[in-house]
């Protein structure tokens, strides 16, 4: 296998099986560093699979947006919305805007929407982590008691904005180990 070629799905499956077995054997023999390495390999394989699956789904959705059928339907949807707007007394400019908005609303991109929601959640969590760390540091280092108390409260409050994303590596790891053990 050369390093410049991506691994196939079959190779990833084989790597996952080897890593699961390696972790199990290492834990039995008490070899913690090897067990941790095997776990890291499993997490990396799961992350790689997720990225590949997401990329394939996004590509399929993008290809669908380029389909002639989608645009033919969009033309009908936009024209219909513009006609309705004119019937309701809209100016030609307002009717055009209504038609364009109807076209935009007609495009369904659930995979893209899910992907962007995950990106937003990760960004929000990174911001929360940063604010929480700064408030915690301020609560421990400030010479003003009121500021220490306020910063501690702010750190706790900010942490409530953290978003949990579905399909975390630990959850995926447990599912994979269960399948491999069967």
Q: What is the pLDDT of residues 113-129, one digit of tens each?
A: 898 998 999 998 999 99
Q: How many domains does the chain have?
A: 2
Query: Are 77 and 45 in the same domain?
Result: no
**What's the mean pLDDT in 48-54?**
91
Express as a percent the part of the chain with pLDDT over 90. Answer: 39
Query: Are 91 and 170 in the same domain?
Result: no
Query: Are 43 and 98 in the same domain?
Result: no
Angstrom distance (rounded) from CA 72 to CA 85: 20
**What's the mean pLDDT in 23-48?**
94
Query: Are 36 and 56 in the same domain?
Result: yes
Which residues constitute the domain of residue 83? 67-108
Query: Are 140 and 123 in the same domain?
Result: yes
For the chain, give the mean pLDDT.
Answer: 84
Largest CA distance in the chain: 80
Query: Are 140 and 78 in the same domain?
Result: no
**Nearest 5 degrees, angle CA 111-CA 117-CA 121?**
145
Query: Are 122 and 94 in the same domain?
Result: no
Take residue 95 and report the two structure tokens written for it. 């009717």
Angstrom distance (rounded) from CA 154 to CA 131: 9
Domain end point (choices 55, 81, 108): 108
pLDDT at 181: 46
């Amino acid at each position: 296998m050369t390093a410049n070629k991506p691994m196939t799905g079959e190779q990833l499956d084989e790597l996952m099986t080897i890593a699961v077995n390696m972790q199990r054997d290492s834990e039995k023999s008490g070899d913690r560093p090897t067990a941790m390495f095997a776990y890291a390999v499993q997490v990396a394989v799961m992350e790689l699979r997720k990225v590949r699956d997401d990329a394939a789904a996004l590509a399929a959705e993008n290809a669908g947006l380029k389909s002639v059928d989608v645009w033919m339907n969009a033309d009908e949807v936009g024209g219909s919305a513009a006609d309705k707007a004119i019937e309701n007394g809209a100016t030609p400019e307002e009717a055009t805007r209504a038609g364009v908005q109807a076209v935009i609303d007609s495009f369904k991109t659930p995979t893209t929407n899910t992907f962007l929601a995950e990106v937003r959640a990760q960004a929000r969590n990174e911001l929360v982590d940063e604010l929480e760390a700064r408030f915690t540091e301020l609560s421990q280092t400030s010479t003003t008691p009121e500021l220490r108390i306020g910063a501690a409260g702010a750190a706790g409050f900010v942490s409530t904005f953290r978003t949990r994303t579905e399909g975390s590596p630990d959850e995926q790891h447990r599912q994979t180990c269960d399948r491999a053990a069967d």
